[in-house]
Each structure stands twice: as structure tokens, then as C-alpha cells.
Chain A
Amino acid sequence: MTTLAEIVTPQPVHPGRARWIGFRTIVLREYQRIIRIWTQTVLPSAVTQALYFAIFGGLLGSRVGPMGGFGYMQYIAPGLIMMAVNINSYSNVVSSFYGAKWGKHVEELLVSPLPSWLIVSGYVTGGLVRGLLVGIAVTGVSLLFTNLHVHHPLIIAGAVLLTSMTFALGGFLNALFAKNFDQVSIIPTFVLTPLNYFGGVFYSVSLLPHWARAISYFNPILYMINAFRYGFLGVSDVSVGIAFAIMAGAAVALFIIAIVLMERGSGIRE
């Protein structure tokens, strides 16, 4: 049997490298969780979006006609991808972090020397990973139904990253405050899905009456979907610059709030 006397003390790790290792460990753990339960994390969105494409794009879309100068299927594809990305980024973090709270293994992180900002960043990156994996899967599904041409790849990348981060942070805050599993599912079901539907996934807000369009401009998801759609099609209902300012502002604000709450121990410390 090996004894402690045989331990060769390794060289101390530089604090910056130690933090990087800690961050990478959280992300890797999240990635392994996503892959381990891929039938719950990746597959459902791919199937759901395939149904959207088949019903809204294929059956109904042919009667709707072109929108924004593009075929209906082509028009809704970016919105459907973005909807899958934002809901999955949110769901991943809220379910994973709340699950860790519920199972008490969040304490593994809380007793470790990892600073709060790094724990938040690790979980957000986990949400980003799931958002991107689902986004790739849904993009693959969409290519079965329509062609996607890329108008501006950097805008696509920027929009998907900022949106995914923002929603992952939202999921993190939800998990901090959640006291049971009902409170984990309320916001995705009753807030995010309606905001996505009214955020221009299936239509251009230019088709709405003036009052409805005015209300739509208060919906942050409208800006995310339109910026993403602009990256593919080059058309948008809103200014892409303003959309990026809103996405970046939301991400920064939520990140700061998450760190402050973690430092205060809200929802995680007694």
C-alpha cells in the first residue's frame, strides 16, 4: 500500500495557472454532463426545431410567401437557431447549478479557493458550450429544409456568443434564487418562450400594427434575433449597433450582479 511518505510534493502551481485549471475543470465537468445526458440536453431542441421547420416553414410557410426579401423558411431559420441557443444556454446553467445546490455538491466549489467570478464564468461557459452544440445541431437540421448563406460571419459569432452568455447568466441568477425545481422551469416556460415567439422568430415586426411594434422594441430578444438574422441574411428590424450594445450591456450587467450575489452568498450560503 502506498503511504503518504511516498508522496513527492509537486512544484507549486502559479496562481494564474491554478485558476485556469479550476475554470477548465468546471467547464469540462459541464461538458461531460451535457454529453452524458445528450438525450435531454441536445436532442430535444434538434427535434423540436425540426418540427418547427416542417410545420411553420414547410406546410404553412409556403402559403405565407417571402419575408424581408427571402423565402419564409430561410427567414425564420436564424430565429429558430437563436431561440434554441438562448433557451438551452439558460436551461443548462439553471438546471446544472440548481442541481448542484439541491445535491449540495455546489459546496465542492464553495469551499475551494476559486473566486466567485471564476465560478460564474465556468458555469456561463458551460451554458455557452451547450448553446453552441445545440445551435450547431439545429443549424444542421435547418440545412435539411433550406439553404443558409452567411452575410457577415463576425456578426453571427458575436450575436450568438453574447446572447448565449446573457442567457446563461440569467440561468445562473435563476438558480441562485430558486428554492425548488418548479422555480427552475417557470422562467423558461412562461417568460423565455413567449419572449422568443414575440421577438420576431417567425415574423418581421414591420408587419405588426404600430402599438404592437412599439411594445416589441422593449423585448430584448428582438434585438438578439435580428442581429443574428442580419449576420445570415443582411436584413434586420432594428439597428445592429444598438442590438450589440444591448446584448453587451445585458451580459456585463448580469455578470456583475451574479458576482455580487455570489460574494454575498445569496441563495448558497447561510
Chain B
Amino acid sequence: MNALSVRGLAKTYKNGVHALKGIDLEVEQGDFFALLGPNGAGKTTLIGIMTSLVTKSGGDVVVFGHDIDRQLEAAKACIGVVPQELNFNMFESPETIVVNQAGFYGIPRAEARRRAERYLKQLQLWDKRDKASRSLSGGMKRRLMIARALMHEPRLLILDEPTAGVDIEIRRSMWDFLRDINRRGTTIILTTHYLEEAETLCRNIAIIDGGRIVERDRMSSLLRRLHTETFVLNVSAPLAAAPRLQGYPVRLTDEQTLEVEVSNEQNLNDLFGRLSEHGIQVVSMRNKVNRLEEIFMRLVDKGVAA
């Protein structure tokens, strides 16, 4: 059984905007799935329909076998959602927020308090459990929403940019936490603008643009399809002009920095050999952009061009 099956999903808002134009999507049980797309592509609308915050104009959504048109309550019980915008009562304490959320899912109060302690501790919020939520830092507020979404132990966790505005240390610890719950069986759908995050965490990916799925593949397969990568090389001595290297387009971005495109058929040893022939010593190198970002930009640009 799939965690999520979406067929022909369409949404037209009252102002005439076609946010979704017939989306088909399947997410397997246990997957860690990336749903990527530029701003306004339709990601949040898609999530809104899955969680019943947005009414669909057409199509079907089935969550763990429960059609949202016929078994909405059962479908909702399977889903935990961490929205993009903060949506908890800023005057309530973290513990009250998560315990109440468990109550909305029918979890008895004693059990809810046990779970609150567990998740608030796991997300390093236990010390702040009695404080007004408005006094929490941005990262803590994000983690509070994750704790809240987990209180009913959903089979499908939807994270809409969960690490936006979170510092790198906290983000890494959140990655570890999410990997852990995914490993233990929770299916996760992640939208993020940090493509490194998607590449690091997710096994499968869909890219949505202009209300349509423009790509759906395994992450590893998609990355293999990247024919060329651009490397940024820092060189030891200043250069007056970019060297001419047979088969490698090269650009001098400043006197000690080169950008070189390398295709799948070429290799870095060959590149370094050619640079040595020109007396150029490479001090360090890096990818110009994250690999997934490069594919993403190409797919989305193609969509814009079309």
C-alpha cells in the first residue's frame, strides 16, 4: 500500500489561479520523499489539500488507503503536518500546545503528557515547556511544530520547509532526528528550499513547477543524470587570462579563481594534468552549486522557457 496516491489533482482558486493542473504522484510507505519546486509552484497547495486546509477542484487523494472524499477522518488521523508558517497559539506554553494537539487526535491526557515529555526532550524543548511560546527562538518554534505533529505518531509526516531560518547546527540535529523517525517506519514528505537538505535526506524526489510534476525519480538516478558539473578552482598564482584547455570550457571569474565545466565522460585527473601543463597549481576546489540544485535549476528553467 502506498502512503500517498494522488490522481489528477487540480486546484483553481477563486481568483482564477490554476495552482495545480492535474497532479499524479505516489509516495511509497516508509519513503523519505522530497517535493521540490520554486515559490508558487503549487507545493503548499498540494500539502494543503492533503491536510484538508485547501479544498480541491478535482482529482483524488488517498492516504494509506483512505480516500479523503470518503474517509477524511481516517486519512487525517494518518497525517502529521509541520506547516511553513508558524501556526500555534503564541500565548500557550509548548507543553500545553502539544498536549492539546494530542487531545484533538483522541489521545488520553495521561498518555499525551508522556509523549509530550518524550518529544519535547528529543527536540530539546523540555526546559522551555512552561514558557509562553512567543518567547521561543525561531529554531525552537520550528522544533515545537515538529513535536506537535508527532504527538499522535502519524504514519505520514509532511514537513513544509521545516528548517527555514534555522541555524546549521540545529538543522543538522533536526536531520538526525528526522532520519531516525523515518528509519523507524514513518513516511516523510519534505519540501525545502535547501536542496542540500533534500539531497542528504531523501530517497525519492518530485519536482513541481507551474502546477505540474516536471520530474519524478529516485534521488540517485536523478543525480546520475547530471551530465556536467561546474567546479570552482582556487589557484595558487594570479592569472591574466583563462587557460585554453581542450574539451573543458573555462572561465576566469577573478585572477585566482577558475570555473570549469566537467562532463560525465571526463575525469578530474585529466583536468588537473592539463592545468599542470599550463603551470597552474590548484589550491582548493568545490562544486559551484549543489548537484541537485543544478538539476533543479535546469528543470525549472526548462519549464519557464516552455
Contacts and interface: CB of A to CB of B under 8 A. Distances in A.
B103 A24 contact: yes
Given A19-B106, A103-B89, A108 B180 contact: no
Given A103-B89, A104-B85, A112 B104 contact: yes
Given A7-B153, A24-B103, A29-B100, A105 B87 contact: yes
Contacts of A7: 118, 153
Contact of A111 (B76, B96, B106): B76
B88 A108 contact: yes
A25 B73 contact: no
Contacts of B122: 1-3
A105 B106 contact: no
Contacts of B90: 103
A113 interface: yes
Given A100-B89, A113-B76, A269-B52, A108 B104 contact: yes
User: Number of contact residues on A: which range applies?
Assistant: 35 or more
Given A2-B122, A3-B180, A109 B104 contact: yes
Interface string A1-19: 1111101011001010111
A2 B103 CA distance: 22
B77 A113 contact: yes
B29 interface: no
Nearest to B13: A270
Given A2-B121, A104-B87, A105-B89, A111 B108 contact: no
B79 interface: yes
Interface in A1-48: 1-5, 7, 9-10, 13, 15, 17-19, 21-22, 24-26, 28-29, 32, 36
Interface in A57-112: 100, 103-105, 107-112
Query: Interface centre among A9, A17, A24, A269, by most B CB within 10 Å?
Result: A269
B160 to A, nearest CB: 12
A115 B100 contact: no
B305 to A, nearest CB: 30
A269 B104 CA distance: 19
B175 interface: no
Contact count band on B: 35 or more
A107 B103 contact: no
A36 to B, nearest CB: 8
Interface in B5-52: 13, 48, 51-52
B109 to A, nearest CB: 8
B139 interface: no
Interface string B57-95: 000000000000000111011010101011111110000
B254 interface: no
A172 B115 CA distance: 32
A265 interface: yes
A71 to B, nearest CB: 44
B54 interface: yes
A100 B87 CA distance: 9
Contacts of A10: 107-108, 111
Nearest to A13: B106
A114 interface: yes
Contact of B104 (A2, A103, A114): A114
A110 B107 contact: no
12 contacts: A17-B106, A18-B105, A22-B103, A24-B103, A26-B104, A28-B103, A105-B89, A108-B148, A111-B53, A113-B73, A269-B52, A270-B55
Given A22-B106, A269-B54, 17 more contacts: A1-B121, A2-B118, A4-B181, A5-B184, A7-B153, A10-B107, A10-B108, A17-B106, A18-B105, A18-B106, A22-B103, A26-B104, A103-B87, A107-B83, A108-B104, A111-B51, A111-B79
